[in-house]
Every structure is written in structure tokens, then in C-alpha cells.
Structure 1
Amino acid sequence: MTLTKGLVMPFFGDHPLRYALANELHARPFPLVNTPSQAAYIAMKHAAGDAPRARTAERAHLIDLLDRFDVSHPKPNATHFSGSIGRYTLKWESHTEFVTYTIFGDGTDDHPFSAEAFAVFPEDWLALAPGECVTSALIRVEPGPDDASITKKAAKWFVPESLAISRVLDDALVIAADFRIDSAGHMRLAVFPRPEVGSQRIGRVVQRLCEIETYKSMAMLGLTEARGLSSQMTLAESKLSNILADMATADSDPANVLTQLLAVSGQVENMGAQSAYRFAATGAYEQIVNQRIDVLREDRFEGRQTFGEFMMRRFDPAMRTVNATERRLQEMSARALRAGELLRTQVDVERSAQNQALLTSMDKRADLQLRLQKTVEGLSVVAVSYYAVNISLYVLGPLEKAYGISKIFLAAGVTPVVLIFVWLLLHRVHKQSD
């Protein structure tokens, strides 16, 4: 250990990512937002495809904006940036599927939620964005002198039927939104801080409101995916049910059933592969939305619905639809797998029956072959004995004259001996060959 300026420095090597990982916990700091102020927020989802190429395009788009205001560029491979552009402050963040821009400016104008802050984004620059806008919002921060004043402004700025308004962070602020797109094409978010609330705390609330809106919008993409799959899944389920019905019939053709089953299974697996990422992302975004609402520590404002209640009534059913679609797709895949196993079992049983029949047929053939062989052996004994007897008679012919023995008696005496000898000889030959 070495003592340097009162500090103890250890003698060990640092992991190459030690400082990067530690600094990651402090990345993307909350903005400082004063009262009164206004902000413009936009989130753009980059086109699906090569992620590195998308990030390169996003960075080039940011640099184009910064160059128009003669602002220094962020570090290479940076995923967030904050800096001044004119009299406004820009906050840029790059995420996995989208990129966000937020413009903060002190003071408010006489026309609430006017698009003045959005004028910082040049129209031609917006038109060249490497992606599509998933949400944009205008945020107004102004003091809330009393509940009556807040109620009056909220009724004027938002649609009452959709209005969500609540006290947050132990009644330090009141937040309001209706999650509707106004005539200018933007969401409206209002923040009413108490006089003693600091700019850092206001910035955290504004940041979380933007995140709630963004992740809500990104999560809703899963609902579109689920609705698009609904008709395809219904058709695939019908086909799968018909296949299972065909399998239950006695005259079903396994080869034909297998062809149909492979087609449906391939369709189901393709749907699962195409939607897996979107459904997984939707689940992650849903959790972030709920977590961001929880950290606000909402309390009811004059009996109105809170942000959490709004999400429970409007957002949660959509997420349940996505979850139900994902489960339905998984169950279809499992059914197709079970159908394949049943078909395989059916084919195995039929194949076993065929093998049993083949073995029985082989046994019969072997038995017939054995009988034929015994018959042939018998005929062979007779044939060989016939020739052997004739030869023996020629050999014993002199005895007929010498002893006066008739040829018939010689044949009668020789034949049994020859038959026994030939039979024993052939039996021994077959036994040795076996």
C-alpha cells in the first residue's frame, strides 16, 4: 500500500470497464427545470434493421441540429447529451429502439401549450429524421397558487373525460394530463409545483412524465402486433383443430396429416419468431411505466382519477390483450408439438404392427422352407439311394451266377442298407453345415 496525499492506493489492476460501468449509474442526469418554464419533447423510433446503422444515423441527425446552432458535438458513441442551443437547453437521449429530444426554456407565454418551443426544431430538420415520431408532448410548468386555480386551468386545458390529475411527492407538485393528441399534434402535460420546490425536483418529475408517455406509446405497439396476429392465429387454430380431428379417425393417412401439421407448425413458429421481440419489449415497457408512476407517490386531487387509475382503466387492458395473445401463441405452439408427438406415436404403433406382421410372415416362410427342405432331403435320399442301389447291383452281379441268388433278392437285401447309409450320410452333412 502507498500513502498518497492522505489516501491509501491499492496495488491491483482495474478492470477495463470499471470506470465506465460506475459512470453508467450516473449517466442521463435529470434536467434542471425552473418555474415558470415550458418544454417540448419528441420521441422518434428508428426504422427496424441494423442497430449500428440506426445509431449512426441518429448521431448524424443530432450533429446536424447542433451545427445549426454552432454547438459542440457529443463524445463519440455517446448515448446522451445536454447543452444550450440559443436561449433553450437541449437534452438528447438514445435508447434501444428510439431517440428522444427535449427542449427546455424558462418562462411561459400567454397561450398555454403553444408550439413556440417546437419552433426550435427546424421543419426541414424534422423532415429528415431517421425514424418516425411515436410521441411528442408540450410541457407547461407554472406555480399552482391554490387547488381552485389548478382545477380551473386543468378544466380549460384538458379533456375532462380523460383528465388524470394528482398530487405527487407528498403534495410537493400537482401533475395533470389527458393523454390525448391536441390539434397541433402533441400531448399536453402540466406541472404545478409548490413555491418551495427546487428546480432539480421539478426536473425529475418532468423527466418521469416524459418517460411515462414514451414507454406507454412504445408498449402500445405491442397491441398493434397482437391485433395483427389475431386473425392469423384464429385460422391456424382452426387448421390445427381439423388436423387433430383427422388424427382421431381410423382411416387417416399419417403422411397427409404430417404434411398439414408441418405447415401449421411452421406458420405458428413464424408468428412466434416475428412477434417475440415486440412482445418482450412490450412487457419491459409496461413495467417501466408502472414503476415511473409508483415513484411519483400519487395522492388523489379533489376526487379526480390519478395517473395510476388512468393506466389501470385504459393502459392495463391493452397490456392484458398483448399478454393473452402471447400466451395463446405459446399454447398453440405447445398444441402443435403435442400433435406431432401423438402423430409420431400413431406412426410408431402402426410401424410396430407392420413389423409384427412381417415377423409372423417370416416365421411362416421359415416353417415352409423347413418343410420344403425336409421334403427335398427325403427326395434326395430316395434319388441317391436309387442310383446307389443300381451301382450296388452291378457290383454284386457276379454273386447271382456264383451262388444262384436272384437279382430281385439282391436288390431287396441291398436297398435297406443303402437307404440307411445314404440317410445317415446326408444327415451328417446337413448337421455339419448348420
Structure 2
Amino acid sequence: MDNTAEQNGAQQPTKTQASFEIHPLRDMLAGEVHARPFRPVETPRVLHHMAFLSDVDAAEELEALARFCTAHGALPPGPGARHHVVTLGGAELRWERHTEFTTMTLAVAPPPNDAFAAPNIASLSAFLPKPPGPLIAATRLALVPMEDDLPDLGMFDASSLCVARADSGGAVVATDFRPDPSGFTRMLVANARLTPARAGALVQRLLEIETYRTLAILGLPEAQRIRPIVDRIESELAALTLRMKDEVGLQLSRELLEKLVGLAAEVESEAAGATYRFGATRAYWELVTQRFVSIREERIPGYGSIEGFLSRRMKPALRTCDSVERRLTDLSQKLARTSNLLRTRVDIELESQNRDLLQSMNRRARLQLRLQRTVEGLSVAAVSYYIVGLIGYLAKGGEKVLGIAFDPSLATAAAVPVAVLLVWLLVRRIRGGHTDE
């Protein structure tokens, strides 16, 4: 009875308990590790793998894929889907959307005589959904059973042929990384003992190596385009620096500063677009190196390995991208330092001009002060003269009005020092009041 009550209490939450708040991205984050699962691949099978750069948004691309699925009687992808599989009779189409590209992999039964005797890209495009952008990579991979120690390799170019054992010797992989007349890069995988699941994992990793190494090389054209621009700006910066060293003047400094600002704006504009491309190149090449580890490649004597061939051919292009990126960064820093030096020079020249201007203003102020004192002296004399004149008139009138006998000229003379002293004191007081304010 008590155990039953305890069980019932455990099953029903009390009123004080509250449900957990679920993060809106929890399901997406949990499902990300299962976003692109390996598909089992039966032997024999031919896979046509194509990668397209994405020039449209995800909603438009999903809508095109949904129309394709509806037209072929298959289930359309769900909202926000990143991968989808469509069964088309005996064929299977696998669609995947990545950050900047989309892949479509069509798996079909091989032709009876030649596994690579399949349609070219132009004819195959009529049987696939509308791509989101231009084709960037195309690979035809033939998975066949191993009959001899090594499969027939006569179809490949001997100058770039790579042959190696993969997945602990479970299969032999051969490719020359050259597009055939139909437009596909050919890969041959001879299955010795791999299960469909292991074969599917190996096939997907090989296709990813070809796709990612093609996308990694996209940084090379960008580096080749930017390198002449960097050369030109470096030359202009050197010439401007020499002018800064040999010539002086505020007007010249302003002209040089305007040119430096223009060069810095050009560098930052180029760097803004190139930084993403060069960063993507490093990221894609890192994915390629990870896939090398995943396939567990073992070299076959007499043949070059896939990792060795791609590393030897790709490293110069990758170093070129790194070099141009470093030059862009260094050039931006040099322009910033030169601009700061020139701004400092302009500030010093402006301060020198301001100092000269202040000195000139001080001289003018001293001259005005002297003129003011002269005017004050003249004004004291003039005002005193008028006051003494008034006192003289009063003295002459007072003798007649009051009837007192005194000499008006003596009264006028006696008033002169008193008037001058009083006027001088008044002018001084007025000037002192203005100085205090």
C-alpha cells in the first residue's frame, strides 16, 4: 500500500514542481551530429557526385527540390532540411546543403560493360533538381568488387595516377584527379571485404576529399587577382614615405595624408572580401586532411598516394593564399603606422602655426596696450583742460556775482593740479574695473 502511494506520487508532479524551460535550439543542436549520416552502398554501384555553389537562399532551393520530389512521386523535404534522400526507381538521389555549396549524389547500378560509361553532365542535368548555382565539382565514383590484387587501371592518366589501399586494406582506391570527356573526375573503388555500411562511409569521405579540395583552391584566383593590387599599393606607399622624408610643409602633409587614407581604404576593401575566401581555403584544406586520416590510406609500392599527390600539388596554391593574406595584413598595418606618423607631423605643424599665431596676437595686444595708455594720457590732459576751463568761467562769474575781490587766474591755476589728479584717478579706477572683469 505504501509502495503504491510512493509510486503514484513519483509519477504525478506536485503543484510546486515546474517544468524545465527548453532551449529553442536544443533539437537542432542535438540533431546536428546526425545531419549527414553515411548511407550504406551496395557493391557494385556508380555514384555521380556534383557540387554547386549556392547563389539562392535556402527557401528557394528547398522549393525547387520539393517540386522535383512531387513530380517523381517522392516525399518532399521538411522545413529547413539540410539533407534529403529521394528514391527514383533503382536509383537514389542524395541532396545536401552546406554553408556555401550544395551537393547532389545520384547512385545508380553500373552499366554491364564499363562502370564509367555513364551519361555526361549535360545529359544528366535533365534528371536532377534545379541547382542553386554554378557547378564547381563533379566526380563519378565506381564501386566494384575486387577481382584481382589490383583493378584495371588503364583508364587513368599514368602521370597523375594515385593508387592506395583504404580502410585497413578493405578496398583499393584509384584516381587521376582529371576530368574525363564527359566532365567527371573518375574514382575507382575496388571493394575487397567492406560491408555496405563501411563502403558507404569510405565512398562519402572520398567524394568529400574531391569536393573540399576543389573548394579550397578557390582562394588561388582571389590571391592572383589581389597580388598585383598589393604590389602597386606597396610601391605607392614607398614613394609616399620618401616624400614624407624629403619634403615638408603643411599643405604637402595634407595631400600625402589624403593619399594614404585612399590607399588604406582600398586595402581594407580588398581585405574585406579576401579574408573570408582565404579563411574558407584553410578550413576546406583542414577538412581534406581530416578525411585523409579517416580513410586510413596505405600506399601501394609503385604508385603515388592520394594524400601525397594532393599535398604536393595543393601546397603551393595554399602558400600563395597565405602569402597574399599576410601581405594584405602587413600592408594594412604599414598604412596605419604611416598615417599615424603623418597625422603627428600635421599636428606638430599645426601647433607650430598656432604658436606663431599666438605670438603675433601677443605682439598686437602689447601694441594695443601701449596705444591705449597713450590715449589714456591724452584723454586725461583733454578732460583736465575742459574742467580747468569750466573752473575759470566759474571764477570769473563768482567775482561779479558774489562781489568778492579775487584773481580768477589764480583760482584757475590752482585748479589745474587738482583737476589733473582727479581725472587721472578716475581713469585709473575705470581701467582697474575693466581689468578685474
In the TM superposition, 1:110-125 aligns within 5 A as 110-116=113-119, 122-125=124-127
Could you tell me how far 1:56 is from its partner in structure 2? 3.6
Match of 2:42, SS?
A: coil
Q: Distance in 2 between matches of 1:165 and 1:224?
A: 29
| Pairing 1:381-420 to 2, within 5 Å after superposition | 381-397=380-396, 407=409, 413-420=414-421
Against the structure 1 CA distance between its residues 298 and 128, is the aligned structure 2 distance closer, same or farther, given a 3 Å change threshold? closer
1:226-279 alpha-carbon deviations (Å, 9 max, x no partner): 212222332333333333333332145233223323322222222122333322
Q: 1:65 deviation in Å? A: 4.2
- Does the CA-based 8 Å contact 2:395-2:408 persist in structure 1? no
In structure 2, distance between residues paired with 1:43 and 1:3 = 57
Question: What is the rounded CA distance, in whole Å, between the counterparts of 1:65 and 1:138 in structure 2?
Answer: 22
1:87 corresponding residue in structure 2 = 90
Please tell me the residue identity of whatever aligns with 2:139. Answer: A
Identify if the C-alpha distance between structure 1 residues 346 and 352 changes in structure 2 by more than 3 Å, giving closer, same or farther. same
Calculate the TM-score normalised by the size of structure 2.
0.85
Is 1:304 paired with 2:303?
A: yes
Q: Which of 228, 233, 250 is the equivalent residue of 2:230?
A: 233
Structure 1 equivalent of residue 433 of structure 2: 432
Distance 1:60 1:425, change over 3 A: closer
Query: Equivalent residue for 1:39?
Result: 47
Say yes or no: does 1:330 pair with 2:333.
no
Quote the Cα distance in structure 1 between the aligned partners of 2:203 and 2:156. 18
Once the two structures are TM-superposed, the CA of residue 318 in structure 1 deviates from its matched residue by: 1.1
1:218 corresponds in structure 2 to: 215
What does the per-residue CA deviation read over 1:41-62, in whole Å, with 9 as the maximum and x for residues that have no partner? 1111132xxx52xx34433443
SS of equivalent to 2:212:
helix
Who is 2:359 aligned against? 360
Cα distance change of structure 1 residues 255 and 163 upon mapping to structure 2, 3 Å threshold: same
Task: Tell me the amino acid that sits aligned with residue 422 of structure 2.
Answer: F
Question: In 2 relative to 1, CA 322–8 (structure 1 residues): closer, same or farther, beyond 3 Å?
Answer: farther
- The share of aligned pairs that are identical, in percent, is 36
Alignment-mate amino acid for residue 108 of structure 2: G
Query: How far, CA to CA, are the matches of 1:421 and 1:75 in structure 2?
Result: 105
In 2, Cα distance between equivalents of 1:108 and 1:234? 54
CA distance in 1, matches of 2:11, 2:141: 47
CA distance in 1, matches of 2:138, 2:408: 132
1:356 positional shift = 0.9
Aligned partner of 2:191 in structure 1 is 193
Query: What stretches of structure 1 of length at least 5 have no aligned partner?
Result: none
Taking the TM superposition and a 5 Å limit, the aligned residue runs for 1:67-82 are 67=70, 69-82=72-85
The CA distance in 2 between the partners of 1:395 and 1:182, in whole Å, is 130
Aligned partners of 1:138 and 1:187 also within 8 Å = yes
Partner of 2:3: none
Q: Say whether residues 1:23 and 2:31 are aligned partners.
A: yes
Q: Is the contact between residue 69 and residue 86 of structure 1 (CA under 8 Å) also seen in structure 2? A: no
Query: Aligned equivalents of 1:127 and 1:94: distance in 2?
Result: 13
The one of 144, 161, 171 equivalent to 2:159 is: 161
Contact 1:35/1:106, CA 8 A, preserved across alignment: no
Q: Secondary structure at the match of 1:131?
A: coil
Q: CA RMSD in A?
A: 3.2
SS of the residue corresponding to residue 177 of structure 2 reads: coil
Per the normalisation by structure 1, the TM-score is: 0.86
- Distance verdict in 2 for CA 1:201–1:108, change over 3 Å: farther
Deviations 1:146-201 (A, max 9, x none): 54x34xx23x1322221222222322222222211112211011212323x21111
Give the paired residue count: 421
Amino acid at match of 1:141: L
CA distance in 1 between counterparts of 2:205 and 2:176 reads 16
Deviations 1:308-341 (A, max 9, x none): 2122211122122122222222222222322332
Q: Is contact 1:65–1:125 with CA below 8 Å preserved after alignment?
A: no
The offset of 1:385, in angstroms, is 2.1
2:257 maps to 258
1:245 aligned onto 2:248: no
Query: In 2, distance between residues paired with 1:94 and 1:322?
Result: 26
Report the equivalent of 1:181: 179
Offset, 1:354: 1.5
The partner residue of 2:146 within 144, 147, 152 is: 144
Letter in 1 for 2:46: Q
CA contact (8 A) 1:37 1:106 kept: yes
Which segments of 5 or more consecutive residues in structure 2 lack a partner in the other structure? Answer: 1-5
Tell me the CA shift for residue 207 of structure 1.
0.2
Q: Distance in 2 between matches of 1:116 and 1:299?
A: 32
**Secondary structure at 1:91's aligned position in 2?**
strand
Q: Which amino acid aligns with 2:145?
A: P
Q: How far 1:396 sits from its partner (Å)?
A: 4.3
Shift of residue 363, structure 1, vs aligned partner: 1.2
* 3-state SS of 1:34 partner: coil
CA displacement at 1:352 relative to structure 2: 0.9
State the shift of 1:349 in Å. 1.0
Tell me if the contact between 2:65 and 2:77 (Cα under 8 Å) persists in the aligned partners: no
Among 132, 135, 139, the alignment partner of 1:133 is: 135
- CA distance, structure 2, for counterparts of residue 354 and residue 346 of structure 1: 12
| Aligned-residue offset at 1:420 | 2.6
CA distance in 1, matches of 2:368, 2:339: 42
Kept in 1, the 8 Å contact 2:167–2:296? The answer is: yes
How far is the alpha carbon of 1:126 from its aligned partner? 5.8
Give the counterpart letter for 1:176 in structure 2: A
